[in-house]
Chain A
């Protein structure tokens, strides 16, 4: 069942618990940040409205239904999982950064200051959510998955202590697994759950309280729909969200060209062969006629 995240910005008080939890669960340096980078998968930006109100705009990967990054990646390192998350496989990546160019939300970030750089972004805590609390460890104390292989998150092996922290941080009060940001949110402004249910919930909130929301669920139709939804009290363009996005999934634009290529190549190949056949024959005829002419002139002389 595909999952999603619903962020109700009208409830957000800007405490930063989601950001802190994200940094902690991924072993990133704990720091204030206003923009995403290779070690910050989510941020909070404070926006002051004209009437002196403070609004916090959360930013994270939108986990598109048909992600441009995954379609762009030539080695398929980025993948839309059935679970809803868009994940990446560092080992496959060759560092071309086409995903960063292609992403309509400018989410994937890069480790610019190392010689073995990785493209990185939010994975909706995919591996973390699938880490079992009772998973076994090997002799050296590293956690193993069900097939007996060492679990590695982002190239880092997981110790038992690490596992317990991750499991705790990604388990909701009702015992269900969720993203660290949604578990950490003290007021439920970030919710994690089934996509269809969250979408229904978003619309229910707008319907029952039309005055406190703009009439839009951001992420429902953008680039063919995403798995992260936002509700807001002020227009999304004022919060720095891209509002000029098409409702059509971006990968369709390249696919429409790519899918025609086999036909083009077949036709062009036959056409070129035909041209060669005709011009070659013409050349042969020309040579033959020349020879006949020469022989005649020789006979005459």
Chain B
């Protein structure tokens, strides 16, 4: 008990330090502008806040559409208990992406301009529209949790009725903007390193987002288990990990084919910074997960699965930072003789945003019916009605009667 308490205090103290740093930078950012608070310049206009907070953040929140699709569209109902934590992560993730964007936009108060001055030729316009709409869709997908908690059954019934079209819409919107985050970079072929510039970028971005969405879900459920004793069964997590690794194998096959066709294999032994970063990406995202998953002990333990998924998350972050930052370093150096590395303020804000994400996730898991078992009991105790109305509906109506209706 004592060690548990001390761990909590340590994390709380760490969080407090990050948040204070973030707060200080926030004041500088909105008081004096981007120049004072970041290492950005005319030569390096995009940095960590776009590279991590937006491009990586949206990817890390991909678990929502992936799991909603697996469970509600493909009807693999075994994974049902994971849908809620995944949708919570996605919803939180997108909200935080928007917060991050507010820091990075020079004139954040004008963000609504995207709604009225539309440029359909801009990839960024498409991303903006999709992120906005999808955040609304996620809010609706997440709303049953809140509605259940406050016993708003009429609204709940309405949301449940539109669940399937809503989830299909969510998947389509995700396909659009997850891939389009890659398409953003299609317009700068001459600036990027051949490892990361590819006409395939949109497809690669989408497939890797599917993989990391699953990875994030596994990571969260492990962390939640440690913090709140709320978790999912290990075999379920193992199946999820297996799907994730399958997707990753597809992803890296595509990556390899792509590199081969663009004759980028030739750089692999040049020992450059870019090559090292590519190795790092492949190690975290492919090799370590494959090894861990296939080790007898690790691949079957909760902890082993966590490290497998966590490695994929790290690899994914490396990939996105490579596309957005590493790949441009060579161009910055030869053309301007400069190099970009995020300033301490940029790091503080990014870490603060992540910290806020963890805190809100923890609070949500504590107070809302996110993970199974425990919450169902609470709801039952309150009003005597089962928590999941769609399941209860099918319990009351006889299956035969339902079948006849179709």
Contacts and interface: CB of A to CB of B under 8 A. Distances in A.
Interface in A101-135: 101-102, 104, 106, 109-119
B121 A258 contact: yes
Interface in B165-204: 168, 171-172, 175-176, 179-180, 183-184, 186-191, 199, 202
A273 interface: yes
B187 A95 contact: no
Select the residue from A242, A258, A273 with max chain B CB neighbours within 10 A: A258
Interface string A264-291: 1100110011011001111111011011
A97 B45 contact: yes
B45 A110 contact: yes
Contact of B402 (A37, A101, A245, A284): A284
B4 interface: no
Interface stretch (B124-132, B351-359, B361-369): B124-132
A36 B46 CA distance: 18
A116 to B, nearest CB: 7
B107 A250 contact: no
A57 B40 CA distance: 26
B400 A288 contact: yes
Given A112-B42, A257-B202, A268-B172, A282 B75 contact: yes
A291 B75 contact: no
A251 B164 contact: no
A289 B406 CA distance: 15
Given A94-B110, A272-B168, A275-B74, A288 B403 contact: yes
Select the residue from A118, A281, A288 with max chain B CB neighbours within 10 A: A288
Contacts of B124: 72-74, 96, 98
8 A-B pairs with the lowest CB-CB distances in the bound complex, closest first = A95-B106, A112-B35, A287-B399, A279-B75, A74-B125, A100-B45, A76-B119, A75-B117
Interface string B80-118: 000000000000000000000000111110110110011
B394 interface: yes
A100 B123 CA distance: 14
B398 interface: yes
Given A76-B117, A254-B186, A279-B73, A96 B105 contact: yes
Contacts of B13: none
A28 interface: no
Interface stretch (B16-24, B25-33, B227-235, B253-261): B25-33
Contact of A258 (B168, B183, B188): B183
Contacts of A273: 168
B335 interface: yes
Nearest to A38: B42
A290 B399 contact: yes
Nearest to A113: B35
Interface string B137-171: 00000000000000000000000000010001001
B126 A261 contact: yes
Interface of B: 30-36, 40-43, 45-46, 69, 72-75, 77, 104-108, 110-111, 113-114, 117-126, 128, 164, 168, 171-172, 175-176, 179-180, 183-184, 186-191, 199, 202, 335, 394, 398-400, 402-403, 406
Contacts of A77: 117
A296 interface: no
Given A110-B42, A115-B31, A264-B175, A95 B168 contact: no
25 contacts: A71-B187, A73-B124, A77-B117, A92-B113, A93-B106, A95-B106, A96-B106, A97-B45, A97-B46, A100-B42, A100-B46, A101-B46, A101-B188, A102-B188, A110-B34, A112-B40, A118-B106, A250-B189, A254-B183, A255-B121, A257-B123, A272-B168, A283-B77, A288-B400, A291-B400
Contacts of B113: 75, 92-94
A95 B73 contact: no
Contact of B403 (A38, A75, A285): A285
B117 A92 contact: yes
Given A97-B106, A261-B126, A265-B175, A253 B187 contact: yes
Nearest to A251: B121
Contacts of A279: 73-75
Nearest to A295: B400
B41 to A, nearest CB: 7
A188 B197 CA distance: 41
Contacts of B394: 287
A299 interface: no
Contacts of A281: 406
A93 B42 contact: no
A246 interface: yes
A272 B121 contact: no
A242 B164 CA distance: 51
Contact of B168 (A110, A112, A269): A269
Interface in A227-252: 242, 244-246, 250-251
B168 A246 contact: no
A272 B69 contact: yes
A68 interface: yes
Contacts of B403: 284-285, 287-288
